[in-house]
Amino acid sequence: MQEETTNEAAAPPLAPASELARPVAEALASGLTGHVRSLVQALEAPDQADLIELLEPAQRVQLVEALGPAFNPEVLSELDETVRDQLLPALPKEVLAKAVAELETDDAAYLLENIAEPVRQEILAQMPSGDRAALERNLEYPQDTAGRLMQTDFVAVPPFWTVGQVIDHMREAEHLPETFSDIYVVDPTYHVLGSVDLSRLLRTKRQVRIDTLMDAGRKVVLATADQEEVARQFERYDLKSAPVVDADKRLVGVVTVDDVVEVIEGEADEDLRRLAGIGDERITDSVRQIVPARFWWLFVNLLTAILASVVIKQFDATISHMVALAVLMPIVASMGGNAGTQTMTVAVRALATGELGAINTARVVLRETATGLINGVAFAVIMGLVTFFWFGSNQLGAIIGAAMVINLLAAAIAGIFIPLALQRWGFDPAVSSTVFVTTVTDVVGFFAFLGLASLWLT
């Protein structure tokens, strides 16, 4: 028998933000707000955020105004930081007030922090006293700490309650988080005694006391702890959430894994950009913002390149005597630079994650030194043979082989010691290491190769 066909047609798949950007921009330019809403309204918050980032700055505000009450405040928490900071001052106060009221505490606190003080106070004055106090408490903590990252909505119960009482409380209480996975057990002064996983609670009979179920070894996070340290605890102990306590060890909030994932991604992205010498640059930044940051690091690199050129100039007579030296010279410096970058990347990342400290520094230094020496010898043999068959000179092969060993050893030592020294002196090794490691490998490579050549061939 032939299958019956349904009258309802399947909904067409939504176009990605990259495909919607042009038609939305054209509709905004033509003043077709109804068409704009039909294109955008069905998008999820992250997709709307991607679309806003693809539009021109003026069009971003137009899009929010065109959506009107249909604009989802959650979009603001999904936006790139630079775009969000540019957009907030241009948004109507009604939109900002709605966003602060509907967003989770950590996202709302971020928005308030980047709003002008008079507007901020006006928005806070419209909020219920409890919500206002929670936001003001978040804003008291420094940026990039657990206190700023936490949500102030959580479920806390006394240890003598039964499972049934807890379930009834969760059904009847009005001010509870929309989603949660852990219930915290606290004493009368709100010190954390333990926690109970929601799934375990629901599988237990109603008459069982909650303190017989709780995990008393629950990891807690200080509100003043750096968000990177919080992220490391989540990774190490496979946490889904963690209670946040103040200086008196009282429960003040909770950090959830979705916020920590954003921290991990942000820190990894930041380290990558800093290793490249571009600081906090983002794809949405303007030319005016990009040029100064890149210029100064390129200027420092120019100075170090001049230093390497000064070394080469000292051996101009040797180079003019044998043109083959000019051909082979970049190989030594290039190999040293790449080897130094490998070691430096490992060291900077280990310092950022806390895996490299005083207790294992010596072991890591010895490991990297041995690696540099072994690779140096291996590539010395390879380049010695290549040079012999290329130029027919065993002396030149021996020279470049010796220079290769010296430079790869220097690269390994510089790649580990320079980040360690920079951190010890209070500088960010992710930002500063590249230029100095490159300088060492260039100067040592050129000096070793040309110095040995001037001794052996002249």
Task: Please answer whether residues 244 and 252 qualify as being in contact, where contact means their C-beta atoms are separated by less than 8 angstroms.
Answer: yes
Residue 151: strand pairing partners: 254
Sheet with 221-222, strands from edge to edge, namely 221-222, 241-245, 251-256
Please tell me the predicted confidence (pLDDT) of residue 140: 87
The three state secondary structure string of 18-38 is HHHHHHHHHHHHCCCHHHHHH
Angstrom distances, CA of residue 98 to CA of 33, 103, 112, 148, 405: 21, 8, 12, 20, 64
Question: What's the per-residue H, E or C state across 218-234?
Answer: CCCEECCCEHHHHHHHH
C-alpha distances out from residue 382 to 111, 340, 375, 386, Å: 59, 19, 11, 6
Instruction: Give the per-residue pLDDT at 236.
Output: 86
| Four-way CATH pick for 17-144: 3.40.140.10, 2.60.40.10, 3.30.70.3270, 1.25.60.10 | 1.25.60.10
The vertex-251 CA angle with 249 and 128, nearest 5°, equals 135
Is 153 exposed, middle or buried (CB count within 10 Å of its CB: 0-12, 13-18, 19+)?
A: middle
What is the per-residue pLDDT for 7?
41
Residues of each domain in the chain carrying CATH 1.10.357.20:
287-457
pLDDT number for residue 402? 94
The CATH fold assigned to 287-457 is Tetracycline Repressor; domain 2 (1.10.357)
- Which amino acid is located at 289 in the chain? Q
Q: pLDDT at position 288, please?
A: 75
CA separation for the pair 232, 234 (Å, rounded): 5
Which residues are CB-contacts of 89 (< 8 A; sequence separation ≥ 6)?
115, 116
- CA–CA separation, 259 vs 255, rounded Å? 7
136-166 pLDDT, tens digit per residue, is: 888 888 888 999 989 888 999 999 999 999 9
Q: At residue 357, what are phi and psi to the nearest 5 degrees?
A: -145, -170
Q: Where in the chain is the domain with CATH 3.10.580.10?
A: 156-257
* Residue 378 in tokens: 């291996």
* CA atoms within 13 Å, Cβ hemisphere of 388: 11
Q: What is the pLDDT along the chain (458 residues), one digit of tens a residue?
A: 344 443 434 434 455 677 888 899 999 988 888 888 888 888 888 888 889 988 888 888 899 888 888 888 888 888 887 788 888 888 888 888 888 888 888 888 888 887 888 888 888 888 888 788 888 888 888 888 999 989 888 999 999 999 999 999 999 988 788 888 899 999 999 999 999 999 999 999 999 999 999 999 888 999 999 998 898 899 888 888 999 999 999 999 999 988 888 887 777 766 666 666 666 666 666 667 766 766 776 677 778 778 878 888 888 878 877 888 888 989 998 899 889 888 988 888 788 777 787 888 899 999 999 999 999 999 999 999 999 999 888 999 999 999 999 999 999 999 999 999 988 888 878 777 888 898 899 999 999 999 999 888 76
Signed CA dihedral, 343, 346, 352, 356: sign only: negative
Q: Are 319 and 312 in contact (CB under 8 A)?
A: yes
Cβ atoms of 230 and 149 within 8 Å: the answer is yes
Compute the C-alpha angle 79/228/220, nearest 5°: 110
Q: Single out the residue of 75, 65, 53, 2 nearest to residue 28, CA to CA.
A: 65
Q: Where in the chain is the domain with CATH 1.25.60.10?
A: 17-144
Q: Is 3.40.630.70 the CATH number for 156-257?
A: no
Say if residues 341 and 434 touch (Cβ distance below 8 Å).
yes
Kind plus residue range of the DSSP H or E element containing 320: helix 316-321
User: What are the contacts of 242-247 at 24+ separation with CB within 8 A?
Assistant: 242/218, 243/154, 243/184, 243/192, 243/195, 243/218, 244/146, 244/147, 244/150, 244/220, 245/191, 245/192, 245/220, 245/221, 246/222, 247/222, 247/223
> Which residue has 């040293």 as its token pair?
336
Rounded to whole angstroms, the Cα distance separating 190 from 48 reads 40
